[in-house]
Amino acid sequence: DAGVTQSPTHLIKTRGQQVTLRCSPKSGHDTVSWYQQALGQGPQFIFQYYEEEERQRGNFPDRFSGHQFPNYSSEPNVNALLLGDSALYLCASTWDRGGGDTQYFGPGTRLTVL
């Protein structure tokens, strides 16, 4: 049973560029949440996707957007990258009808903005 997978592992971009991240949830899960983890900090909630729509959003600007596909995978985009966007981006999945509390995290994508 595959866990949460994310790609790519690492990304290097320059300021102003756009980036797309990818996540496949754990088998059987239908809800995907995204978190940003700056170095030495706890993860911060960006947004959550359920039934192909953004269901919740944290305190992040609309430069952060995304999609969820019918197979429950998710691809967030970050536009007009800033140096401060450098972080580990974590995808977490859960099963909404199973209560949704227990979230399983992927290994993350390390984004470096130069």
Partner 1 sequence: QQQVKQSPQSLIVQKGGISIINCAYENTAFDYFPWYQQFPGKGPALLIAIRPDVSEKKEGRFTISFNKSAKQFSLHIMDSQPGDSATYFCAASKSSNTGKLIFGQGTTLQVKP
- Catalog residues that contact partner 1 under the rule CB under 8 A: 4, 31, 33, 35, 40-45, 48, 55-56, 58, 90, 92, 94, 96, 99-108
Q: How long, in residues, is the chain?
A: 114
Pairing of strands 74-78, 19-20: antiparallel
Nearer to partner 1, 40 or 70 (CB): 40
CB of 19 or CB of 90, closer to partner 1: 90
The minimum distance between CB 112 and partner 1, in angstroms, equals 14
CB of 49 to partner 1, least distance (A): 10
Core vs surface per residue 68-101: b (16+ CB within 10 A) or e: beeebbbebebeebeeebbbbbbbbbbbeeeeee
How far apart are CB 102 and partner 1 at their closest, in Å?
A: 6
Q: Which of 17, 4, 9 is nearest to 89 (CA)?
A: 9
Residue 11 Cβ vs partner 1, minimum distance, rounded to whole Å: 15
